[in-house]
Amino acid sequence: MQKLSTYLWFNDQAEEAANFYVATFRNARMGEIMYAPGGGEPHTIEGQVLTIGFEIEGHPFYILNGGNTQYPLNPSVSFMILCDDQEEIDEYWSKILAHGGETMACGWIQDKYGVAWQITPRVLIELLTGPDRERAARVMAAMQQMIKLDIAALEAA
């Protein structure tokens, strides 16, 4: 187990969500599963998944079936997936939307579980942090008009 991991609290969809993330992302794999022992927690049933682990691009995630959470997920916390080309952006975008996701501005998308993802081309970071500050401002303005990011349009800005 890595020293730093992401831990998400879901109501009761941990296993479904973990399977979705592993199927969605190219370099992903399932990890450990802890089953509820029963008799202790009011929101668990003996033998049901309590926590499930998985990795995306080597980053460990864990999801807890925590019952009715008083702390719902929201876009104030998101995960950025750096994409090498438009094909990769389109792939992640369509997979998340096809499973009930919702689009947001500036390349963000929220999956059906409430987790926010930034589907970001690597070149955007280079354009925004490069030495040409006027171009960076044009790129930022172009990005702010987009829902799904378009690499060609960003590079043309």
Asked if residue 83 lies in contact with residue 120, where contact means CB atoms within 8 angstroms, the answer is yes
Q: Cα 154 to the chain's mean position, in Å?
A: 22
Between CA 29 and CA 6 the distance in angstroms is: 15
Residue found under tokens 């969605």: 24
Residue 41's pLDDT is 62
What global pTM score does this model have? 0.90
Tell me the CATH number of domain 6-65, given options 3.40.50.2300, 3.40.50.300, 3.30.720.100, 1.10.540.10: 3.30.720.100
Residue 25's pLDDT is 95
What digits encode the pLDDT tens for the residues 34-54?
998 876 665 667 788 999 999
DSSP state letter for 106: G
